[in-house]
Amino acid sequence: MTTRNVRQIGFIACFLLVLLRVSIGWQFLYEGLWKLGTQKTAKPWSAEGYLSNARGPLRDNFRSLVDDPDGLARLDYNHVVRDWENWRDRFVSHYSEVPQLSDKLKLLLDGPAQFTQPLDRLPEGVDLEKFQQKKFKKPDGYVRYNAEEKRLETNLHLLPEERNALLALAKGKSDAVKKWQTAVRKLYDASHALSLKERLQDLLVEDPERVGLVREDESGTTDSNRPGEKQKYEHLLARYEAGLKNVRETFQQEHLDNLWHKILEKKAELVGPVDALTAEFHAAAYKLLEESEESDSAKWSAAARKTGPVPQEHTKIWQINQITMWSLTVLGILLMAGMFSRLSALGAAALLMLFYLPMPPWPGVPEAPGPEHSLFVNKNLIEFIACLALATMPTGRWIGIDALVRRFILRKKTD
């Protein structure tokens, strides 16, 4: 009678372990290649959202890897403008073959220095100097007629009452009056459009609903102070951070979960429009390239067209994204090929643990968003344990490049 050694692995078990290694490798490889493929699209993949929403005892460590986890920097006008101008400079440098690109981008951000509308002559009785000296006088602002260029000019964003006042300057139904009225209306329409920076200023500086309202009397003393949505958002963040340090009971955790959902909603409400303006700026900049390419007077070389989108700035989160994407890709190839199988399985386990720790399904830790409900063990931990198991066995020496190296280079018997 023969007894079987329980420590001995049969052929089917070996085959299934190799299949497990290849399956995990395929998942890693596909994830890595997909993430790399998005980097040259309008929405490149980033770990920023995952790290910003990190939970558990290592929350602060993971969130510190993100430059602006709460989006507060994107609610600061000067910070956003610096980011825009920095991207503009990199865009111009990247597409240096395109003529007049810097001037066109400056026009996108700042708008024109003045708005003009052709007009042969002023109607009888129209005196723009008197118009400005009376009701609508503004510092450094003007509405004037350029007789040499035969056009109506202004550097103001005309208001409806200003347009109506200008229209009222000319009486009658003559051709000159009709042309004057048409020119005023077109000038109003042109000046009514705000540049990107002006829209951002209106959003982050001048909107009392968002930034609050502070009034001061003649002596400089604060007369009234009404908090805006930004201040409410900062208050919610402060309450959440304070609550994390004192949470003990289940009802406290539930309260924090509800508070966090409110924070995410408020963040989307405040930061979303700013991100939309940034996306609009980038889209308009790339549209300028298409217009330049189609223009007979502004041809640019085929080499410039093939340079691809502007490379992302090398921030902390960019470095983390690169490490993550290339780690997934390289480890996936190694696992599938059975090359350095134990070492690559150990590296995959380490990477999976880094995916597990930002949102661990532990008691007292807010549950991660999504349909999955876990306690201690989730998909990342299961794969982590599987990779540790693979690291203890020479699966690459059963089927893989490790077996070929052992057989033909080291001249040893394969397993």
pLDDT in tens, 220-238: 554 556 789 999 999 999 9
What's the CA gap between 94 and 14, in Å, rounded? 52
65-69, 101-105, 410-414: least confidently modelled range: 410-414
What's the CA gap between 4 and 1, in Å, rounded? 10
pLDDT band at residue 156 using 50, 70 and 90 as cut-offs: confident
282 or 140: whose pLDDT is higher?
282
Q: CB-hemisphere CA count at 13 Å for 283? A: 9
- The confidence score (pLDDT) of residue 4 equals 63
% of the chain at pLDDT higher than 90? 60
Instruction: Please say if the pLDDT value at position 162 is more than 60.
Output: yes
% of the chain at pLDDT higher than 70? 89
Q: Is the distance from CB of 165 to CB of 136 less than 8 angstroms? A: yes
Q: Is the distance from CB of 111 to CB of 194 less than 8 angstroms? A: yes
pLDDT band at residue 138 using 50, 70 and 90 as cut-offs: low
- The confidence score (pLDDT) of residue 298 equals 46
Q: What is the pTM of this model?
A: 0.79
Note the pLDDT tens digit of each residue in 344-358.
999 999 999 999 999
Summarize the confidence of residues 393-412 as an average pLDDT: 88
Summarize the confidence of residues 151-159 as an average pLDDT: 90
SS3 223: strand
Summarize the confidence of residues 307-315 as an average pLDDT: 82
pLDDT band at residue 135 using 50, 70 and 90 as cut-offs: low
Instruction: Please say if the pLDDT value at position 340 is more than 60.
Output: yes
151, β-bridge pairs: 118, 146
21 or 374: whose pLDDT is higher?
21
- The confidence score (pLDDT) of residue 274 equals 97
Domain assignments of the chain as residue spans, ordered by start: 11-61+315-409, 68-104+229-305, 112-194
Per 3-state DSSP, what percentage of the chain is helix, strand, and coil (rounded to 5)? 60, 5, 35
- The confidence score (pLDDT) of residue 296 equals 45
What's the CA gap between 168 and 213, in Å, rounded? 35
| Cα dihedral 278/282/285/291 (nearest 10) | -130
pLDDT band at residue 246 using 50, 70 and 90 as cut-offs: confident
Average pLDDT, the chain: 87
What's the CA gap between 247 and 252, in Å, rounded? 6
Note the pLDDT tens digit of each residue in 163-217.
998 998 888 889 999 999 999 999 999 998 899 999 999 999 998 889 886 655 5
246 or 259: whose pLDDT is higher?
259
| Cα dihedral 81/83/86/88 (nearest 10) | -70
Instruction: Please say if the pLDDT value at position 127 is more than 90.
Output: no
Q: How far is CA 167 from CA 136, 162, 269, 374, in A?
A: 14, 9, 39, 69
Summarize the confidence of residues 96-121 as an average pLDDT: 92
